[in-house]
Amino acid sequence: MSFDDLSTELDLRKEQALYRCRRTLQTPQQPIVQVDGREYLAFCSNDYLGLANHPEVIKSFQTAANKYGVGGGASHLVNGHSQAHHELEEALAEFTGRPKALLFSTGYMANIGAVNALLGKQDAVFQDRLNHASLLDAGLLSGARFQRYLHNDSESLDKKLAKTEARRKLVVTDGVFSMDGDLAELPELSSVCKKHDAWLMVDDAHGFGCLGESGGGCAEHFSMPSDDLQVLVGTLGKGFGTAGAFVAGSEVLIETLVQHARTYIYTTSMPPAVAAATLTSLRLLQEESWRRDKLTQLIKQFRDGCQELGLTLMDSPTPIQPIMIGESDKAMQISKALEDDGIFISAIRPPTVPHGSARLRVTLSASHTEQQVERLLQSLEKVSV
């Protein structure tokens, strides 16, 4: 059997300006990067606090690599669960104010594992229509009745929950929506969940480190009692600047995941040195609140500047500040024009975002300077978005 059919599909993607290409980074993740041999000022990583290349985080990684070696060597339930993993789980439980936390090797795996450990065919899952792909995939894979409610619309959720007779009901939402930057209305969603005896699961991949006085994300931002938010997911590759993810919650929840989450059970543990490095980034994230203050300033500067330029921004209070473009080919053209001017921002296109809503996903980091944000604004003016 030939691959002609696949080639035709790939060609079609190119024609529709939906073809994706990898670019090669030759420096650490930081504001000035080298990509494919050229230097750029970048505004597209999720390293919101600038911890991915922090000297103390690197040092902890190196020290732990000397102690534990490189690979985890086995799954957590065989003999890959090291002291470094265990300490990080305890610290994350304390940080989130939950009895327990469980590490996963990626956020994608945490979401697939958690939803599938909790739900089966007799159950129902309700998802915001703009949820991250890993949450949507998790729901579809679970075999539970899968329904999407209107974005951040607790009435739409309420109506759907009122009609279900499922054994278990799980409502799932991003905390900060990854491609839009807005926050889930957690207090409203939680009261609808209570009314219908449903669990609430929040994936706060983009909230931890950025929101809340001590970086505790959406839950801290909204002062949500932990009993109102039963399944809390965080990823470590974004604000924490490392890699991996965790689920935090009650003893029963975490024990259920240990017994049933297949993406936890059937995979090698994350490298212990990553866990040790994350313990250091967790401390920096909690204690050094100046990074959140700096982000707030940069967000304001960027939004004010865009308003002056007449650019359409989304209603986002977070470091995710997408500029809505619309058609994919136009988004690609603008991204290329910015690149020619030394600014690196990738265009986000369908199917990552709905059709007709391609955008430049600008992300800010505490490691950017005011001058760099000014330089971005000048470039946006120049390419006349």
| Distance from C-alpha of 160 to C-alpha of 156, rounded to nearest angstrom | 6
Q: Which of residues 221-240 bind ligand PLP (CB under 6 A)?
A: 235, 237
Strands 343-344 and 38-42: parallel
Q: Is 178 a catalytic residue?
A: yes
Cβ burial, residue 223 (10 Å; 0-12/13-18/19+):
exposed
- Residue among 98, 302, 296 nearest 213 (CA): 296
242 in contact with ligand PLP (CB under 6 A): no
Cα–Cα distance, 230 to 234 (Å, whole number) = 13
Residues in binding contact with ligand PLP, number by CB under 6 A:
13
Supply the minimum distance, in Å, between the C-beta of residue 2 and ligand PLP: 34
User: Could you tell me which stretch among 64-72, 75-83, 87-95, 105-113 binds ligand PLP (CB under 6 A)?
Assistant: 105-113
Q: Which is nearer to ligand PLP, 189 or 385 (CB)?
A: 189
Do 91 and 282 touch, CB atoms closer than 8 A? yes
- Determine which residue in the list 174, 180, 182, 339 makes contact with ligand PLP, applying CB under 6 A: 174
Please tell me whether residue 113 binds ligand PLP under the rule CB under 6 A. no
Query: Which is nearer to ligand PLP, 42 or 205 (by Cβ)?
Result: 205
Does the footprint of ligand PLP cover residue 134 (CB under 6 A)? yes
Q: What are phi and psi of 71, to 5 degrees?
A: -80, 150
Only segment of 53-61, 106-114, 147-155, 283-291 that touches ligand PLP (CB under 6 A): 106-114
> Which is catalytic among the residues 132, 238, 294, 368?
238
CA of 127: how far to CAs of 57, 134, 149, 195, 350, in Å?
35, 12, 6, 17, 19
- When asked if residue 107 is in the footprint of ligand PLP (CB under 6 A), the reply is yes
* Choice from 47, 203, 220, 339 touching ligand PLP (CB under 6 A): 203
Establish whether 238 is a catalytic residue. yes
Interface residues for ligand PLP in 23-52 (CB under 6 A)? none
Question: Which stretch in 36-44, 102-110, 162-170, 338-346 sits in contact with ligand PLP by CB under 6 A?
Answer: 102-110
Minimum distance, C-beta of residue 134 to ligand PLP, in the bound complex (Å)? 5
Beta strands in the chain (DSSP E): 32-35, 38-42, 100-104, 124-128, 145-149, 169-174, 199-203, 231-235, 245-249, 320-326, 343-344, 347-348, 358-363
Residue 190: active-site member: no
Q: What share of the chain is helix, strand, coil (3-state, %, to 5)?
A: 45, 15, 40
CB 137 within 8 A of CB 181: no
Provide the minimum distance between the beta carbon of 127 and ligand PLP in the complex, in angstroms, as a whole number. 12
CB of 236 to ligand PLP, least distance (A): 7
When asked if residue 359 is in the footprint of ligand PLP (CB under 6 A), the reply is no
Q: Does 132 bind ligand PLP (CB under 6 A)?
A: yes
**Contact call for residues 246 and 282 (beta carbons, < 8 A):** no
Choose the catalytic residue: 178, 269, 328, 367: 178
Q: Is 173 in the site for ligand PLP (CB under 6 A)?
A: no
Among the candidate windows 32-40, 107-115, 193-201, 315-323, which touches ligand PLP by CB under 6 A?
Answer: 107-115
Q: Mutual orientation of helices 55-68 and 272-287 as an angle, nearest 10°? A: 150
Q: Residue 245 interacts with ligand PLP (CB under 6 A)?
A: yes
Q: How far is CA 216 from CA 145, 175, 181, 289, 292, in A?
A: 32, 11, 17, 11, 11
> Is residue 215 a contact residue for ligand PLP (CB under 6 A)?
no
Q: Does residue 128 touch ligand PLP according to CB under 6 A?
A: no
In contact, 254 and 101? CB cutoff 8 Å: yes
What would the x/- binding string for ligand PLP be over residues 177 to 196, using CB under 6 A?
-x------------------
Q: Is 106 in the site for ligand PLP (CB under 6 A)?
A: yes
Which residues, 6+ apart, have CB-to-CB distance to 93 below 8 Å? 99, 100, 101, 248
Q: Which of 100, 132, 160, 206 is catalytic?
A: 206
Phi, psi of 98 (to 5 degrees): -115, 155
* Site of interaction with ligand PLP (CB under 6 A): 106-108, 111, 132, 134, 174, 178, 203, 205, 235, 237, 245
Tell me the catalytic residues: 178, 206, 238
